[in-house]
Amino acid sequence: MTSTRVIGIDPGLRITGYGIVDCENKKTTYITSGVIKTTSEKLPYPERLKIIFDEVSEIVSKHQPNQMCIEKTFVNMNANSSLALGQARGVAMAAGIQHQLQIYEYTALQIKKSVVGNGHAEKIQVQSMVQKLLNLPEVLGPDSSDALACVLCHNQVMQINQDNSPINFKGGRIL
């Protein structure tokens, strides 16, 4: 496996986390991470989506990843929240597609299971493991950490799946 630069996205309408890591076999090298904030309630909804699209596009242009991995949307009790999350996720994916990135999707359960060993891990556990696995000097915020955890999960899946055969998941576990 040659070195692949991967951008991970933790989508959100108010805060979208991103993280970029170079992956070469089991070696991972942290490049950058951060958040895209659209927290102003005064902005019209479409403008907030445009900010996410534009900023993801700018980050991709600047850092030139080959692949994007993104957390899948889960449906919760609040349908409006789920729809907003899905739309934020969609514009982030569209930005990746515009730059010809390969897109990979993982559930929160898969990501947590891969990084922490427990699909129901708390956010602070994910943050701590991301710090340790990427040798970061400090614990990052939850949105950046979740995006980087998505990349670490993706790299693990790619290690297992070097022949590009389909991978099946059950309960967050790779079968």
50: Cα separation from own chain's centroid: 19
How much is the pTM?
0.89
How many domains are there within the chain?
1
Flag whether 58 is marked binding. Answer: no
Catalytic residue among 22, 55, 71, 146: 71
The two tokens of residue 140 are: 């990052």
Average pLDDT over residues 102-130: 91
Percent of the chain with pLDDT over 90: 71
Q: Residue 63: give the domain boundaries.
A: 4-174
Lowest mean pLDDT among 19-28, 61-70, 166-175: 166-175
Per-residue confidence (pLDDT) for residue 162, from 0 to 100 = 67
Flag whether 22 is marked binding. Answer: no
Confidence class of residue 12 from pLDDT cuts 50, 70 and 90?
very high
Lowest mean pLDDT among 28-32, 47-51, 84-88, 164-168: 164-168
User: pLDDT tens-digit profile of 14-58?
Assistant: 999 999 999 998 899 999 999 999 977 788 989 999 999 999 999
Catalytic residue among 10, 22, 55, 146: 10
Find the CATH number of the domain harbouring 62.
Answer: 3.30.420.10
Catalytic residue among 22, 55, 143, 146: 143
Per-residue confidence (pLDDT) for residue 120, from 0 to 100 = 83
85 has pLDDT over 70: yes
Flag whether 143 is marked binding. Answer: yes
| 146 in catalytic set | no
| 143 in catalytic set | yes
Per-residue confidence (pLDDT) for residue 173, from 0 to 100 = 52
